[in-house]
Amino acid sequence: MGVDVRIRDLAKSFPNGRDRLRVFAGIDLDVGSGEMVAISGESGSGKSTLLSLVAGLDLPDHGTITIGDQRVETMQAAILSRYRAFTVGLVFQFHYLLRDFSALENVMLPALMQGRDRRETEANATELMSAVGLEDRLGHRPAQLSGGERQRVAAARALINNPELILADEPTGNLDDANSRVLEDTLFRLVSDFGKTLILVTHNLDLADRTGRSLRLEKGCLLER
């Protein structure tokens, strides 16, 4: 199932010489369980930074990030590691598949790293590969796949530990129009069929509009489009 997301008074800045560059301050965001939300904005507006904070990959200057009943910004290292493994699934602009592993093995890897049973994991990964339309590519290595196919493998990998929240950072950014559309259709179908919550950041306003709720990050403020 999906999970509720509640962000309050979130602020983030980075060192900039003797000063600090403020990316955003005072952001509030509510996303309901099973909802799909897109965040657009210019390069450098802070979209990816916001996702990294929700994923627990970085810490805010202040503010709260509540995912279900978990407070992300206060988690200790061991709990944070488990949160990233089981609550959040990440899909990036680049697929980050391991070139020496097959597509199926790449999908299996996050679960195996958490000590899951190999036979059960292989069955789950095979089901996910079928769900993204790549049941005939199980043994292919990344170099033998097209760009769109590699991104679909990455989407399957993001779901292998059955996370409640999917965070997608420009997932179609490196794809042509045809492959972008296939990946979009696949991602939205997976999120809907498996009942996940989705937060998607993108420059593509057509893609953003497909989520049903589209926001814009502009000058440090999160606005309804």
Q: What is the mean pLDDT of residues 207-214?
A: 89
Sorted by sequence, the CB contacts under 8 Å of residue 109 that are 6+ apart come out as 98, 101, 157
CATH architecture of 5-224: 3-Layer(aba) Sandwich (3.40)
**CA-wise closest residue to 198 among 183, 209, 211:** 211
Strand 197-201 to strand 214-218: parallel, antiparallel, or no bridges (unpaired)?
unpaired
E strands, 175-213, where? Answer: 197-201
> Considering the chain, what is the average pLDDT of its residues?
91
Instruction: Check if the beta carbon of residue 154 is closer than 8 Å to that of residue 146.
Output: no
15: its two tokens: 């060192």
pTM of the model: 0.91
Place of tokens 């409640």: 164
Asked if the model's pLDDT at residue 1 lies above 80, the reply is no
pLDDT at site 10: 95
Distance CA 225, CA 51 (A): 19
pLDDT at site 21: 86
pLDDT at site 94: 82
pLDDT at site 174: 79
**CA-wise closest residue to 165 among 108, 99, 83:** 83
pLDDT at site 173: 78
Distance CA 67, CA 197 (A): 11
Percent of the chain topping pLDDT 70:
100
Instruction: Write the CA distances from 162 to 9, 120, 159, integer angstroms.
Output: 29, 13, 5
pLDDT at site 177: 84
